Amino acid sequence: MTVKDLLKEGATVIDVRSSWEFADGHVDGALNIPLDEIPQRIEEIKELNSPLLLYCQSGNRSGMACGILQQFGIAKVHNGGGLANMRIALM
């Protein structure tokens, strides 16, 4: 499933970069939940609309975040890659 398909489906977009990276620029409507905060915020994340579409700067942190969320039983989670990839997909 492509990023555009996920967005059409109503995916919740989560930016897993640090708060200062998020403040420097992000996808409109994205939530900022830094990678290191995901385990502590798992209940909050479970309450979000599914599917979840995660991104970071390059796709590495969002990939790690996807793995963490899957370990907590969240199945509909997708790695959107890096910020540049997300911006291209939204054009």
Catalytic residue among 13, 56, 66, 86: 56
Q: What are the C-alpha distances in Å from 32 to residues 1, 20, 61, 74? A: 23, 10, 13, 18
Task: Tell me whether residue 21 is exposed, middle or buried, using C-beta atoms within 10 angstroms of its C-beta: 0 to 12, 13 to 18, 19 or more.
Answer: middle
Is the Cα torsion angle 11, 40, 47, 67 positive or negative in sign?
positive
> Among this protein's residues, is 66 annotated catalytic?
no
Active site residues per annotation: 56
